[in-house]
Structure 1
Amino acid sequence: MMNTKWTVAPNVDVKYNIFTYTIGVRQAMVLVNAIIFLLFLKFIFSLTNRYWFSTIVASLLWIIWVVANRIKIGIRNEPILPSELSMIKAWRSLLGMVDGWILLLVVSVIVITIPIIYFLEKKYRLPKQKWYSRVAWLIIIPVIFSSVTFLNHEKSVIHIISGGIGNDPTFYNQLAGAQKNGPTQQFLNNIDVEVMKKPSGYSKERMQQLKDKYRKVAADINKDRVNKFKDQVVIFNLSESFSDPNRVPGIQLSNDPIPYIRQLKQKTTSGTMISAGYGGGTANMEYMSLTGLDLSNFSPTLPTPYTQLVTHRKYNPNIAQSFPEAVAIHPYQGVYYSRTEVYKRFGFDRFYYLGSKYKIKYKKKIDRSPYLSDETAYKNALDQVKQANNGEFINLVTMQNHFPYDRNYYNNSDKYTPVGEGIDDYTRNAVQDFSTGLSYTDTAVKDFISKIDKLDKPVTLVFYGDHLPGIYGGVDMTKYGIQLHSTDYFIYSNKYAREHGARNLVSKTEYVGPNDFIALMAKQTNSKVNAYQALLTEVQEKLPVATLNTQKSTVNSYNTHTEFVDNNGKIVKYKSLSKKQKQLWEDYKLLQYDMTAGKNYWKNN
C-alpha cells in the first residue's frame, strides 16, 4: 500500500516486485508491524475486556491508518509524520481534501460494523481477562511503546534491537522509509527527534568571537545604508505553489498565465528560488524565509521545524522582531503547522485567519474553488499596510493555488492547455486548472502593486512561490531535479520607497534560497543590519544556494547530503568551495545550532 508502482528499488540497484520485496526481503519488518498491531489490539482488549469489539475496532482503525497514509503518499509522496498530528484540530478542512467516495465508504463500514459487533458480543461471548492480567497489560504495553523515545539514540537498547531486526528509518526519504518499514514503524521512527548535530568547536567563547566578528561586518555594511527597518513596511508574501509551468520539461502552455509577473521580473530584483520541497513543505519554506536558517543543516529527524522546534523554544530569532509591529495573514485555517503558536513565539502582534479574533475582512472565492482568492489576501494585506503608522512586517501566506488540482475549480481553464506529446489526461487537466489559478494570482498582484505605488510610505514586497505542485509525475526528478525545485520570486519596492533609498539588486540574485530573503530585502530597502543579519548577508553574497537533495521530493535529507546550487543553476560540490567559503558555512552552522539547539550564547552575550 505504500508503493505507487509494482516494482521498487529502495537503495539497491536491482528492482524488486513489491510483493517479493515485502515478503521476501523485509519479512522481519512485516513481523514487527504484526506485533505492533497485536499489542495495539491487546491494549484495547485490556481496556474494554470485550474481544469482538476490540478486534474489529482495532482492525478498522488500522485499515483507516494505512489508507490515510496511502492518500497522503498520493498527494505528497510521504507518509504521515508525528509533527502533523497538530493538524487534527482542522479535521473539517482535512476531510474536505479527501475524495467524497472514500468518506462515504468509511461511514458505511462504521454503520455496518456496529450491529455486527453487537451480534458477536451477544452470540459468541468469549472468556474475559482477569483483572490483574488487564492491569499488567495496561502497564506493560505503554512501557513498550514509550521505548520509541530512545529509538534514534545510537547506543540505546531499542536502537540496537531495531537496527538488528532491519528497521531502516531512511529519514532523507520518508516515502522509502514507509515502503521499507511500514507506515507505523516509520511514524515511530520520527518520534525521537534530534534538532541538529553539534558543530565542532561550539562553545560560549567561540560564539562570542563570532558575534564580535559579524558586528564588525555589520558596521561595514551599515556605512553605506541610510534606512532602518523601523521605518519600513515589508511584506513577505508566500504565494502557495506559485511556479511557472513552462519551466517544467515537456510542459508548454498554449497561453501565458503570468504575463504581468513575467514582465515585472524584468524590471525589479527577481530570479529563481530553489525550494527544498516538491508538492509540499510550505511551512518549511516559510520558516527559512522568516529566520534565514537553512533546513539542510537540521537533523534528518526534524522534517518540520514549525511543529517540532519553534513551539518548544522560547528563543526563536526571526525578521519580524526587527520591526515595531508584525502581522501575519493567512486566509485559511490557522492550526496548520501550529501557526497560531508559532507566530506567538516569533513575536507577531496579530494573526489574521479564518476563525481568529482578528477577522479576515474580505472573503471572495473564484468559481468553484473552496479557497479564498489571492485578491482577498491582498485586500486584507492592504488594510494592514494603510494602518501602519511606522514600520511594520507582514507575513502573508496565500491559499488560492493549493491542491487538489483535479476538481475543475475554474471556468475557461482550457485557455492554458499544455501542448506536447506524452501528457496524460490527469496532468493535462491538473496543469490547466493550476495555470488558471496562476492567472488570477497574476491579476491580483498587478492590482496590489498599483495600489501600494500610490501610498506615501515605503513598502517593499518580497514575493515567492514555496514549491511546485505535485502534478508533474511523468517528469524524471533524478534528471530534472533543479527544474522541479525552481519557483519564481521577485522583490518590489514601491515608488515612495525608491525615492527614499530603496534600490533594485542586479548581482547574484538569479538563484536564491528562501533563507536569503532577509539579506536581500535589507539590501534592497537600504536598511541597516545587526550582526545576525550581517552573517546572513555574507551567506547570501558569498555562498551558493544550500538546499536539500533536488533529486528527491521529500522534505528532509541527511546533513551530509546538503546540495549547493550556484548562480548559474548548476550543482556544485562542497569540496569545490574555497577555504573562506567553507569557513563562512561553518560560521553559519554554528549560529544556527546556537539559535535552535544550543545554549543561545549569541543572544546572551
Structure 2
Amino acid sequence: MAASFGDEPHLWDGWGDAATNGPAMTFLRLAHTNAMDKPEGYDQKAMAQIAQRYAHEADTVNATRSGNLTDSTVILILSESFSDPTRVPGVSFSEDPMPKIRAIKGATTSGYMLSTGYGGGTANMEYQALTGLAMANYNPSLTIAYQQLVPQERWVATFNQMWNAKHGDTASQATHTFMDNMYFRARNYKKFGFSQFWTLNGEHKITGCSPIDRAWYVSDQCTYQQVLSRLNHGSDPSQFQQVVTMQNHMPYNDWYDNNQFKQADTSQALTDAEHADVQTYAKGVQHTDDATAELLTQLDQVDHPVTVIFYGDHLPGIYPTAYANPDNVLGLHESDYFIWSNAASPSHTAKLPDDAARYTSSNYFMAQAAQHMNAKVSPYLAFLTAMHAQIPAMSIPAASGHSDGKPVYLNAAGEQVAPKDLTPEAQRMLRDYRLIQYDLSVGKHYLKDTSFLTAR
C-alpha cells in the first residue's frame, strides 16, 4: 500500500530514506517493527535454567581447552560480495580467479557460509557474526537488524565486548572503507563498544586509499593496510578488529585494466550482460585473492597471536540465468569463509574437520573460532558450539528455492532439512535459541545479570 503513495524504502541508508520518502515515513518504518514474538515459556526462571544448563556445557568444553580468546587479536573481515564464481552453475573460467584463497582454505578451517541474502544483505551478516543471533529466528518483518532493531535496543551484547572487558575500551576498533552512515553503523558500533570507527568521512577518517584502475570503491589491499597500521603491539597487544571491505561491491562495469578473464571466460548459456559482469567480478576476486594472501603473509610476521575470520557476505546479484532455476537458489546463498591463525598462535596449523566446518552461518563464527583456537568459552559460546553441531547452518526462507516459507536449515553435508525432520535434540536447542535471542534482543535481558556471556 505504501508503494502506491510513492514510498521507496532505502533501508540501508536512513538519511537517504528520509530524503526520498520523508522523515515521518522513515520513523514509522524503523520504529514499528515487531522483531520477534515472545516465545512460550519465557520468564526469568526459564532463562536462569538456560544459563545454568549451558554453564555446565561450558565447563565440559573448557575441560579440554587451554587457550583464551582474548589473549589473541581477532580480525573479523567481511569481504564485500566475495565468493567463488566457479561454483555458480554455467560459470567457468580457464584460469582460477582465487587460487591463493583456495589454497588457504585447504590448509585451515574453512567451508561455505549460508547467507541470508543474494546481491545484498551485508549488515545482517555483520549483525549475526558480532552477536551470535540468527536472522532466521526473527519475524520476517525484520529485514535489516541494524536499521529496525539495534537503534531501539537499550543494550546489545556483542563478542568484541569480551576484549574490552579484559583490555579496556580501546581494544575494539572497526574499519569500513566507505561512509559511516550506511546501515546506521556509526551509531550502532558505539553501542556495540567500538571505540574507533574508521571510514572515509567520519570522526576517524581514512586517507590515502584509492580504487583500482577505474573502479568506484577502495581496494582491499588498501583496506588491509589500514588494518595492519592499527594493530596493537607491546605488552598488551590483543584486540578485536571489525573490518568491512568495499572493493567488490556492485556494479561491475569493466573497471579493470589487463583483465585476462575476458579471454578466460568459458561460461555457458549466459547473456552478454552476464558475461560482462562475471568477467569484471572475477578480476576483482583475483585482486582480493592477492591482497588477502599478502595480508596473511604480513600477519605471520607479527610476534603475538592473531586469528582472522574471513568471509564473503553474499554473492553478487549478477547471475539471473542461474537464479531462475529454484534448484540453484540455495547454492547462490553460499559464500566462502575461512578461519586462520598466524605463526605466533598455538592454533597456527589448526584445521577443524569437515563435519564441524564445511557448512556454517555467520552467527556461529565466534564459536567456531574458539574451537579452532582451542579457547575456553562462555556459556553462550558453549550453546552456539552445540547448536552448530545440531544445525550447522541456518537462514531465512528466501535462501532456498524450496523453503515453503520456513527457515532454511542445513545438515553437515549441506543438505536442506525441513524443520519437522530435525532431531528432537535439534528442536529442543532451537527452542532454547529462540528464548536466548528474545531475551538478548527484545526481552527483559535476564541473561545480562548471569554469567551467560562471560568466559569461564
The two structures have a TM-score, normalised by structure 1, of: 0.68
Match of 1:77 in 2: none
Corresponding residue number in structure 2 for 1:273: 113
Q: Shift in Å at residue 540 of structure 1?
A: 1.4
- 1:572 has 2:408 as partner: no
- Displacement after TM superposition at 1:436 (Å): 0.5
> How far does the alpha carbon of each residue in 1:290-322 deviate from its partner, in whole angstroms, 9 at most, with x for none?
111110111111101011111221211111111
Per-residue CA deviations over 1:81-112 (Å, capped at 9, x if unaligned) read 5x445142998xx9xxxxxxxxxxxxxxxxxx
**CA distance, structure 2, for counterparts of residue 327 and residue 227 of structure 1:** 23
Aligned-pair CA distance for 1:455: 1.1
Counterpart Cα distance in 2 of 1:349 and 1:536: 27
> How far off is 1:191 after superposition?
6.5
1:355 and 2:201 aligned: yes
Give matches, 1:31-70, under 5 Å. Answer: 37=5, 62=6, 69=8
For residue 245 of structure 2, what is the aligned residue in structure 1?
Answer: 398
C-alpha distance in 2 between matches for 1:86 and 1:33: 18
Matches within 5 A, 1:304-323: 304-323=144-163
Give the secondary structure class of the aligned counterpart of 1:271: strand
Aligned to 1:485: 333
* 1:494 and 2:342 aligned: yes
> Please, which of 354, 376, 384 is the counterpart of residue 528 of structure 1?
376
Q: Which moved more, 1:431-440 or 1:504-513?
A: 504-513
Equivalent residue runs for 1:68-83 within 5 Å: 69=8, 80-81=9-10, 83=11
For the pair 1:245 / 2:85, whether they are aligned, the reply is yes
Alpha-carbon shift at residue 490 of structure 1 (Å): 0.6
Question: Cα distance 1:356–1:244, how it changes in 2: closer, same or farther (>3 A)?
Answer: same
Write out per-residue CA displacement over residues 388-416 of structure 1, whole angstroms, 9 at most, x where no aligned residue: 733211011000000011x2111122425
Give 3-state SS (helix, strand or coil) of 1:299's partner: coil
| 1:299 and 2:139 correspond | yes
Q: Which residue of 1 aligns with 2:453?
A: none
> Aligned partners of 2:13, 2:398: CA distance in 1, in Å?
27
User: Whose helix fraction is larger, Structure 1's or Structure 2's?
Assistant: 1
Using a 3 Å threshold, how does the CA distance of structure 1 residues 574 and 408 change in structure 2: closer, same or farther? Answer: same
The 3 A distance-change label for structure 1 pair 551 and 581 is closer
Residue 310 of structure 2 aligns with which residue?
Answer: 463
Instruction: Provide the C-alpha distance between the structure 1 equivalents of 2:243 and 2:432, rounded to a whole number of angstroms.
Output: 31
Aligned amino acid, residue 453 of structure 1? D
State the Cα distance separating 1:357 from its structure 2 match.
Answer: 2.8
Q: How does 1:72-471 map to 2 (within 5 A)?
A: 80-81=9-10, 83-88=11-16, 192-323=32-163, 324=167, 325-387=171-233, 389-405=236-252, 407-416=253-262, 417-471=264-318
User: What is the letter of the counterpart of residue 531 of structure 1?
Assistant: P
Alpha carbons of structure 1 residues 313 and 266: separation in structure 2 relative to 1, 3 Å: same
Q: Is the 8 A contact 1:293 1:592 kept in 2?
A: yes
Shift in Å at residue 482 of structure 1?
Answer: 1.9
Q: Number of aligned pairs?
A: 436
Q: Displacement, 1:362? A: 4.2
CA contact (8 A) 2:231 2:237 kept: no
Instruction: Assess, with a 3 A threshold, how the Cα gap between structure 1 residues 90 and 401 changes in structure 2: closer, same or farther.
Output: farther
Deviations 1:125-162 (A, max 9, x none): xxxxxxxxxxxxxxxxx9xx99x96xxxxxxxxxxxxx
Unaligned 5+ runs, structure 2: 451-456
Counterpart contact for 2:399–2:408, Cα < 8 Å: no
Equivalent residue for 2:367? 519
Q: Report the alpha carbon displacement of residue 333 of structure 1 after superposing the two structures with TM.
A: 0.5
Using the aligned pairs only, state the percent identity: 36
Structure showing greater radius of gyration is: 1
Aligned equivalents of 2:31, 2:189: Cα separation in 1 = 24
What are the Cα deviations for residues 432-451 of structure 1, in whole angstroms up to 9, with x where unaligned?
11110111000001111111
Contact 2:13 2:183 in 1 (8 A): no
Change beyond 3 A, Cα 1:85–1:577: same
SS at match of 1:488: strand
Alpha-carbon distance, 1:551 to partner? 5.2
1:253-295 per-position Cα deviation (integer Å, ceiling 9, x unaligned): 2311101001111110001111110000000011011111110
Distance in structure 2 (CA, Å) of the matches to 1:515 and 1:456: 29
Q: CA RMSD in A?
A: 2.5
Distance 1:191 1:343 in 2: 19
Residue pair 1:374, 1:399 contacting (<8 A) in 2 also: yes
Inter-partner Cα distance in structure 2 for 1:275 and 1:301: 18
Distance 1:495 1:580 in 2: 38
How far apart, in 1, do the equivalents of 2:81 and 2:173 lie? 22
Cα 1:334–1:420 change in 2 (3 A) is same
Provide the rounded CA distance (Å) in 2 between the counterparts of 1:503 and 1:259: 20
Question: CA contact under 8 A between 2:124 and 2:146: conserved in structure 1?
Answer: yes
Q: Which residue of 2 aligns with 1:118?
A: none
Answer whether contact 1:241 1:465 (CA < 8 A) is retained: yes
Q: Which amino acid aligns with 2:161?
A: Q
What is aligned with 1:598? 443
Structure scoring higher RCO (CA < 8 A, sep ≥ 6) equals 2
How many Å separate the matches in 1 of 2:448 and 2:3? 45
Indicate how the Cα distance of structure 1 residues 584 and 512 shifts in structure 2: closer, same or farther if over 3 A, else same. Answer: same
Q: Distance in 2 between matches of 1:362 and 1:545?
A: 39
- Give CA-to-partner distance per residue, 1:52-76, whole Å, 9 cap, x none: xxxxxxxxxx5xx6xxx5xxxxxxx
Distance 1:87 1:509, change over 3 A: farther
For 2:362 and 2:443, the matched residues in 1 are separated by 23
Instruction: Give the counterpart of 1:585 among 418, 422, 430.
Output: 430
Deviations 1:514-555 (A, max 9, x none): 1110100111122211111111111112223111125569xx
Secondary structure of the residue aligned to 2:248 is coil
